[in-house]
Amino acid sequence: MPSPAEPEIAVRRGPIHVAAPRRPRRYGLWNGIPADIRRLWTCVVATICGLAFAGTAVVSAAHLRMDAVDGIARETAPLLGSAWDIDASLSAADAVAASAFLSGSETPAQRAGFDADIRRAQSGTITAARATGSGAVSPECAQWRADSAAAAGSSTDAPPTNAPPTDAPPTDAGAALTTLSCQIPVYVGLIDEARANNRQRFPVGAAYLRRASSLMQSAILPAATTLTRTAELRQDTAYRRATRGGEIVLIAVGGAGAIVILLVVQLALARWTRRRLNPFLLAGTLLTAAALAWTLTAFAGERASLVRAGGYGPAAQLDLLRIRAFRAESDALHWRIAQGGTVSYDRDFLARRDEIEAQAAAEFSIPSSGEPSAGAPTAGNPSSIAALARDALSAGTTAIDPRSPAGADTARNAARVEASFAALETAVLDARARALTTFQSTVADARRRLAGLAVGSAVLFALAIASCGEGLRRRLADYR
Amino acid sequence: MTGAGRRARLWRGALGALCALALIVVVSGCATVGSGAAPVGAWAPLATATPDPGTTATPPGCDDSKPPIDDVPPPTSRQLAADPVLARIRKYGKLRVGVSRDALGFGSWNVLNHRFEGFDVDVARQIARAVFPASAAHIDDRIEYHPLSFAERVGAIQRGSVDLVASTMTITCARRTDVSFSAPYYVAYPTFLARRQIHSLDDLRGQTICVATGSTTAAKLARLRLTHPFIPITQVREELSDCLVDFQDLKVDVVAANDATLGGMRIEDATARLGPYEFPPVDDQGRTAAGVQPEWYGLGLNKDRADLTFRGFVNGVLERMRTDGTWLGLCREWSSYATSCVAGAPPPPSYLRRSR
């Protein structure tokens, strides 16, 4: 179709002007191309660039999402699980050591439980060190201990304290791992000394146990908690990466831009060529829309999967309940050993009791005192966990009653505390296993929703580009 | 409608649809979510209380180097019948006794038979038998044991959380300003536990010493440092058994206390040597005198005037034990651990009722 912007054609067609004013000649390949063809080429470039941009955005976002979800499945969730396990295993080991002391002669089950807890904590430390990329698993502990002692100023005329000369609780994951890898063997050594002395009825055994527990409470457990907090932050970051909105906005904007370009080109072609429809361009537009719809649907589904059932929340709540329960148990048993003393095990137990009661009321529908338990305790049932928690706390409260007599009752109280907290632990572990299974299935579901998205959308966009290119090529061919 | 109008409407519709799509996407799916993990609370370290060991300065005119002379005599049966303290204890049903938890041979927890045992504990059981004669066969059911560190003893008596303390508690002039004591029931001598024998204070040069907070030995060493500044104290621990842990961990070279408690520790650590140096009398200026300074163990009691009859009652039980051979029997029972039945034998009581 002739264009009014082209002077030579206008001169030829114009009846009056024989010679139009001569424009300065412009040289160059682009200027040598007819205007219609130039416009068509502009459409080609805009269409392909728009689609390429949108396609790249979609494929990149899909890759990033997949990486984030993979990170949750393969790195942060196992790290968080390990961190909680370290915390819980160490708390359990301390409680078992106290229980064995109170029972007089350590049973094989108690020893096996203690050894298993320590092994779990140590292997968890190695796992965490690998996951965090920390090289602090086998440091020069002797040098580290010397530095710590120097930093703590445990020298001449130190103030009276029950705590051994250890450093302050670590504040980062590397330092926490160093503390764990260096101090867990020290703790085990102190417990071994306590055992050896207890077998000979030597009261210094209780002093070794006290020192071991002090080391656990003042240095090792805070380090484990630091590690858990670090793992939680990583998990949270991974979750935010896997659900962040920036990518969705980028895809929506890029996709909308591409579709607008395609619509504009379609309309322009209809206007310029008087062909109402370019089927290839329409196919490209539909392919683009399909790719966008798939991507947005997959992202929405992935996000819904990740937040379904509270994400890691239920498992974390159970982990938190576990370590609070272990600490409460340990407090009650250590109070029973000291039966008073300067270390306020009773106050700490009461603080943990309040925390557990508040958590159980909020998360596990704990019945208020005086109400009957919600049916027979069944493993993993939330109301059962609440009832078991109440039983365990009741046993602990009895154990720290200063009016309860020493003597055989001490062993009986300890046995009751141990049994009730063991029942709670069993129920919590069962519920935790199910919560973890649910969590893993949600992550797997999220991965499944993203599976093939990057490749599939790349193929769709490639087809769209090819289709649009073909449609435009045909229009260009019309001018030849 | 013209073609241009239709196109404009089409454009507006397309743009509107895109905007709506973008809005839906942003509102419904863009909000990032956290992992939902429970926030880990920071573990508060276990709180420790620093007990007040009580007065440490010797009041003027009082001499710790001489045996106590103002013991309350045993009451008459009429006085006993009217004693409110005994009535209160019997009404409560239990005698509340402060004991040591780590002095092998005097007061410690036996992990195998789940009971407190030792010479001090047996003395307390004798008192309980006298308070509850009908329950003599199961006397442990009538005793509420309160394990106390050295520094906790005075505070426990003052607060009234125990009726008496039987825990290697030396009768000193300083402590008598805060609490009261029974007649002496054992005589101990402050000395050292080390890896090699200590023959004089000069042997302490370059050594690191551990003492228990609130012990008379800690106070004596502090006074000795005034005239013997080379004597170091590197560890002050809440419990004496913590000193033994430091000793076995090679963190300290010497543990200072009375021979009664250190004797039990020597059994706990076969590599340790006890004494033979024993502390001389030391005055407030750190000046030493010739000879050795005995320390008289008494049962710690409330200083209230209302408790005077109970003090006399306790003294009566102790005197009966001393004279009827019960004391010697108990001492021999524990002599393989720590007690010395010759040097540790208490002097006859010196009753002198004072108007307080």
State the nearest Cα–Cα gap between A464 and chain B, in angstroms. 19
What does the block give as tokens for A339? 């039966």
A7, with CB counted inside 10 A (0-12, 13-18, 19+), is middle
Query: Which residues are within 8 A (CB) of A292 and not within 5 positions of it... i.e. 6 or more apart?
Result: A54, A58, A251, A252, A255, A259
- Confidence bin at B123 (pLDDT 50/70/90): very high
Identify the top-confidence range among B32-41, B125-134, B216-225.
Answer: B125-134
Q: Look over chain B and give the mean of its residue pLDDT values, rounded to a whole number.
A: 80
How much of chain B, in percent, has pLDDT values that exceed 70? 81
| Gap between the Cα atoms of A257 and A260, Å rounded | 5
Identify the top-confidence range among A244-253, B27-36, B218-227.
Answer: B218-227
**Residue A157 confidence (pLDDT):** 41
| A295, containing H or E segment | helix A279-307
Prior bond of B67 cis (ω within 30°): no
- Confidence bin at B244 (pLDDT 50/70/90): very high
Task: Report the pLDDT averaged over residues B82-107.
Answer: 88
The verdict on a CB contact (< 8 Å) between B236 and A160 is yes
The verdict on a CB contact (< 8 Å) between A263 and B14 is yes
Task: Report the pLDDT averaged over residues B61-77.
Answer: 77
**Residue B34 confidence (pLDDT):** 62
Task: Report the pLDDT averaged over residues B240-248.
Answer: 90
**Residue B307 confidence (pLDDT):** 77
**Residue A99 confidence (pLDDT):** 84
Task: Report the pLDDT averaged over residues B154-168.
Answer: 89
| A475, containing H or E segment | helix A453-478
State the nearest Cα–Cα gap between B289 and chain A, in angstroms. 27
**Residue B122 confidence (pLDDT):** 94
- Confidence bin at B125 (pLDDT 50/70/90): very high
| Residues of A whose CB is below 8 A from B152 | 340-342
| B237, containing H or E segment | strand B235-237
Beta-carbon count within 10 A of A158 CB: 15
Task: Give the sheet arrangement for strand B102-103, strand by strand.
Answer: B102-103, B107-110, B115-117
The verdict on a CB contact (< 8 Å) between B32 and A240 is yes
Q: Where in chain B is the domain with CATH 3.40.190.10?
A: 77-188+295-334, 190-278
| Gap between the Cα atoms of A198 and A102, Å rounded | 10
Q: Give yes or no for B352 touching A (CB within 8 A).
A: no
Task: Report the pLDDT averaged over residues B251-267.
Answer: 89
The verdict on a CB contact (< 8 Å) between B149 and A347 is no
Q: Give yes or no for A189 touching B (CB within 8 A).
A: no
**Residue A191 confidence (pLDDT):** 93
| Residues of A whose CB is below 8 A from B38 | 313, 316-317, 319-320
pLDDT mean for each 10 residues of chain A (480 residues)? 43 48 58 75 85 86 86 84 87 87 81 91 84 58 57 41 43 80 91 89 88 87 86 84 79 84 84 79 88 86 77 82 88 80 79 85 58 42 77 85 66 81 88 86 85 86 89 78
| B188, containing H or E segment | strand B186-188
What does the block give as tokens for A417? 């505390």
| Residues of A whose CB is below 8 A from B53 | none
**Residue A2 confidence (pLDDT):** 43
- Confidence bin at B4 (pLDDT 50/70/90): low
- Confidence bin at B120 (pLDDT 50/70/90): very high
Calculate the alpha carbon distances from B124 to A47, B129, B142 in Å: 99, 9, 11
A:45-104 residues touching chain B, CB 8 A cutoff: 72, 76, 80, 101-102, 104
Considering the four listed CATH numbers 3.20.20.450, 3.40.190.10, 3.20.20.70, 3.30.70.1450, the one that applies to the domain covering B77-188+295-334 is 3.40.190.10
Task: Report the pLDDT averaged over residues B80-85.
Answer: 82
| Gap between the Cα atoms of A13 and A1, Å rounded | 14
Task: Report the pLDDT averaged over residues B278-302.
Answer: 81
Calculate the alpha carbon distances from A250 to A64, B33, B230 in Å: 13, 18, 77
How many pairs of residues across A and B have Cβ atoms under 8 Å apart? 236
pTM beyond cutoff 0.80: no
CATH class as words, domain B190-278: alpha beta
State the nearest Cα–Cα gap between B77 and chain A, in angstroms. 31
**Residue A371 confidence (pLDDT):** 43
Inform me whether the pLDDT recorded for B183 exceeds 80.
Answer: yes
Q: Give yes or no for A248 touching B (CB within 8 A).
A: yes
Higher pLDDT, residue A227 or B9? A227
The verdict on a CB contact (< 8 Å) between A162 and B48 is yes
What does the block give as tokens for A209? 């146990």
- Confidence bin at B25 (pLDDT 50/70/90): low
Q: Give yes or no for A462 touching B (CB within 8 A).
A: no
Residue among B14, B28, B115 minimizing CB distance to A406: B115
**Residue B128 confidence (pLDDT):** 93
Cβ atoms of B239 and A206 within 8 Å: the answer is: no
